[in-house]
Amino acid sequence: MSKEIRKAVLIFFSVFVIFTCLVIISEFFNYRHIIGTYPEKPQLAVPDSVTVGMPSQDAFDFQKSKVTTWLVRLFLGFAVPAFFIFSRLSAKIRDWARRKAKRWSLIVILYFIVYSVLEMLIYLPLDMYTGFVRMHQYALSNQTFLQWLVETLKSFTVNAIVTAAVIWIPFMLIRRSPKRWWLYLALVSIPYMFFMSYIQPIVIAPMFNQYKQIEDSELSAKIDNLLSRTSIENCQVFQVDKSKETNQMNAYMTGVFNTKRIVLWDTTINYLNADEVLGVVAHEMGHYLMGHIWKSIIFGGLGSILVLYFVFRICNLFLEKTKGRYGFYRLSDVAAYPLIILIINIMLFAAVPVSNAYSRGAELEADRFELELTKNNFATATGTVKLHQQSLTMPEPGIVYMLWTYDHPTYKSRVDFANRYRPWEAGQPLKYQKYMKENDSAR
C-alpha cells in the first residue's frame, strides 16, 4: 500500500471514529432530554390534543441496538469493498470469471454474481441479528427462522438477477467514454429508476407478499368516499399480508403511471381504528397527488450526476497512485467494481443528510395534505402514536442519527404538527385545496 493510500485510509478511519463518537454523544444527551422532559403518563389535553409520553424501556433498548448495528453496517459498507480491493480478492474473482467465459459481458456478470454471494455471506450474521434475532427479542416478528431465511435468500436472488442483467451497462459506458461515463450513467439512471418503479408493484412485490382489495367492506367504502373528495383518478388501494411477518404497521404509495397504488399493511388495518386508517390513506394520497415518487426519481438522478462525478475523479486518482498494484489498471476492468462501490458509499454517506432532508419535506407535505383533507387532527395524532409505539420508535433520536437515517420527520414533531395545524378553524385557505373538489372546502 502506497504512502498516499495509507494516509487516506488513516484519515478516513479517524473521521469515522469521530463521527461514531458524535453519534454516541448525541444519543446520550437525547436520552437524558427524553427522560427529563417526557411525561410518564401522557394525558389528552382539551379539546383534542395528544401528548407523547415517555418511551418504554424496550424502546430505549431497541434504539441503542439500532444505533449500534447501524454504525456496524455503515462501517462494513466501507470495509467490505476495501477488503476485496486490498486483499486482491477482486482481481482473483475477475481472473476466475475470465477462465469461465470468453464474452466480456458474461465475465462482468459472473464476477458480479460471485462478488454478491461473498458479500451476502459477510453480511449474513448482521442481517440475521437485525432481521430475525432482534425482531423476536422485542416481539416484532412473526416469522420462523426458516421463513426468514427463505425470504432473505429470495430477496437476494431477485436483486442479484435484476442487477446482473444490467451491471454490464456501467462498465460499457466506462469503456466507451472514460471521461464522460459519469454523466451518461447518471442520465441513464433516471429512466432505469422509472422502469423499476413501474414494474416493482406488479412484478417484484407480488413475489414476496399477497396483495388484494381491502377486505373490510365498510372501511373500503369509507376509503372510496375519501378518494372521491379529491382530484385523484384511478387510484388503487390494496392491503398486503404483512402480519405473517411482523407486528409493525406501515403503509406506502408505490408505482408510477398506471401501476401507482396505495398499499396498507394488514397490521395497520388491524391495529388502528377506521378514522386513523383513513388518515394514513389520506397521507399516501398526498404522495400520490403531489407526484413525490417521480420527483424523487428526478431529484435522485440529477443528484447522482454530482455523486458520480466525484466517483470518477477519486477513482482515477486511486488508479494513478496505485499503478495496478491491486490487479487492475483501468476503471473499465470489472475488478475495479469494489473501488467504485467504496467511493459511491463514501459519497452517499456525505450526501444522505441532504436527500433525507428532501424526503422529510415531502413527508411533511403529505402530513399537511392529510390534515387538510380529513380535518381530523385527533385521529392523525393518535394514529401516529400507535404506529410508532408499536414499532418501539423513539419520539426523538439524537440529531446526528436523525440527519443520517430519518427520511421522515420525527414521531414527536409529527404529533405536534397534527395537534396545531388547523387553518380551516381560522378561516384561512388550505394550501392543497387545488387537489380537492370544490365542495370539499365546507367539510
pLDDT along the chain (443 residues), means of 10: 78 94 97 91 68 93 97 97 96 96 95 97 97 96 96 95 94 95 94 92 93 95 94 89 94 90 96 96 95 90 93 94 92 96 96 95 97 95 94 95 96 95 93 84 50
Residue 57: predicted pLDDT: 95
pTM for the full predicted model: 0.93
Structural domain of 195: 3-208+291-442
What Cα–Cα distance (Å) separates residue 166 from each residue in 163, 192, 311, 426?
5, 10, 19, 55
Q: For residue 71, give the amino acid letter.
A: L
66 domain residue, yes or no: yes
Structural domain tally of the chain?
1
292 is in an annotated binding site: no
Instruction: Tell me if residue 367 is catalytic.
Output: yes
What Cα–Cα distance (Å) separates residue 354 from each residue in 35, 349, 373?
30, 10, 29
275 domain residue, yes or no: no
Active-site residue, selected from the candidate residues 27, 367, 370, 396: 367
**Residues 288 and 253 sit within 8 Å (Cβ to Cβ):** yes
155 domain residue, yes or no: yes
In whole angstroms, give the CA distance from residue 336 to residue 25.
37
Residue 440: predicted pLDDT: 64
Residue 45: predicted pLDDT: 57
SS3 243: helix
Instruction: Return the biggest CA–CA distance within the chain.
Output: 75
For cell 388518515, the residue is 279
Helices (H), 43-180: 57-86, 89-100, 104-128, 134-137, 145-164, 168-176
248 domain residue, yes or no: no
Instruction: Tell me if residue 233 is catalytic.
Output: no
Q: Is 212 exposed, middle or buried (0-12, 13-18, 19+ CB in 10 A)?
A: exposed
Active-site residue, selected from the candidate residues 266, 284, 365, 416: 284
**Residues 91 and 335 sit within 8 Å (Cβ to Cβ):** yes
Q: For residue 31, give the amino acid letter.
A: Y
358 domain residue, yes or no: yes
261 domain residue, yes or no: no
Residue 386: predicted pLDDT: 94
CA 39 to chain CA mean position, Å:
31
363 is in an annotated binding site: yes
304 domain residue, yes or no: yes
**Residues 4 and 373 sit within 8 Å (Cβ to Cβ):** no
Q: 148, 391, 144: which is closest to 251 by C-alpha?
A: 391
251 domain residue, yes or no: no
In whole angstroms, give the CA distance from residue 300 to residue 297.
5
SS3 246: strand
